Amino acid sequence: MRILLTGAAGFLGSHLCDRLLREGHQVVGMDNFITGSPDNLAHLAGHPNFSFIRHDVSNFIFVGGKVDAVMHFASPASPNAASPYGYVNLPIQTMKAGALGTHNTLGLARANQARFLLASTSEIYGDPLEHPQKETYWGHVDPIGQRSVYDEAKRFAEALTMAYHRFHGIDTCIVRIFNTYGPRMRLDDGRAVPNFLKQALNHEPLTVYGDGSQTRSFCYVDDLIDGIYRLLISDIHLPVNIGNPVETSVLELAHTINRLTGNPADLIFKPDLRGESDPQRRQPDIERARTLLNWEPKVSLEDGLHRTVTYFKQRLGLA
């Protein structure tokens, strides 16, 4: 297939480029570098099946030639307000990527009668009242809070995708992505894994907000990309959770990273500044992925963190 991938220079987008190219597809990458990095695609320079267009997806999209699939991954994704790449600091761009960007990419898919894959998020469940979260759960979301620019943009994007599927007959699918980590994450991303790794590798105490009891499900990037690819080539239209169902507290994560890096410093606890709408628990129900895609994660948290530590050491000049 010839595939347009928006957000190609991002953490997930760049790994998707690699997987699609390994599978023999042609990839047209698209990014405006607002949160993505050209470094993530540097290794693809000169690749015969890869081309790149610098473009903001909130504007009309033109791609010459036939496109067989469109994968919409363009959006700021970090919830951390302390990061310049967090969607709290890019609220309008985040809303436009989720709303206008989805409209434009769906229009391209319709014009080409192409398969369309929307990168959605576990954040559409908000601070869930159901645990673990199934795809049938409608969510518990604050529509006007700081996080709403991301949550509601993705919820709108899902609704628009299903509208195009039902009204125009477009071959669409939706992946709901849970917490993912691995090489090519920004060091200043602001989320738990890069924060802890950067502090640990600099032999600094790890900063835990609150008591660290809040949980996440940490999926290694290779596992996630495999699930997304399986969804792309399937005939599924309903949303599918892709993530690691093993629930891990932030405190457990901090202790694991300190042990794996040999960090002599301990932990410091600070008041919880995450905000009222930040989810206390996050864990996917992946039965739909297991049943329909024959997928489940294979990389353990420790193994995935080992691989990620190697990348962070290189980026910090410690390797």
Is 250 contained in some domain? no
Per the domain annotation, does 234 fall within a domain?
Answer: yes
Separation of alpha carbons 164 and 70, rounded Å: 14
Query: Which one of 150, 164, 220, 229 is the catalytic residue?
Result: 150
Q: What is the pLDDT of residue 277?
A: 54
Any idea what the CATH number is for the domain that residue 23 is in?
Answer: 3.40.50.720
pLDDT value of residue 274 = 55
Judge whether 67 lies within some domain. Answer: yes
127 part of a folded domain: yes
* Total number of domains in the chain: 1
> What does the alpha-carbon distance between residue 173 and residue 119 come to, in Å, rounded to a whole number?
9
Q: Is residue 303 part of a domain?
A: no
Looking at residue 275, its pLDDT comes to 55
Task: Determine the Cα–Cα distance for residues 53 and 6; give it in Å rounded to an integer.
Answer: 9
* Active site (annotated) includes residue 150: yes
Query: In terms of residue numbers, what domain contains 42?
Result: 2-185+218-245+283-298
Domain presence at residue 312: no
Residue 143 lies in a domain: yes
Query: In order along the chain (319 residues), what is the average pLDDT of each group of 10 residues?
Result: 98 98 98 96 97 98 97 92 85 97 98 98 94 96 94 98 98 97 91 93 93 92 98 98 95 96 93 66 94 98 96 90
The CA-atom distances, in angstroms, between 166 and each of 3, 142, 158 are 22, 27, 12
Q: Does residue 209 belong to any structural domain of this protein? A: no
The answer to whether residues 115 and 70 touch, using CB atoms and an 8 Å cutoff, is: yes
Residue 273: what pLDDT?
60
Predicted local distance difference test score (pLDDT) of residue 9: 98
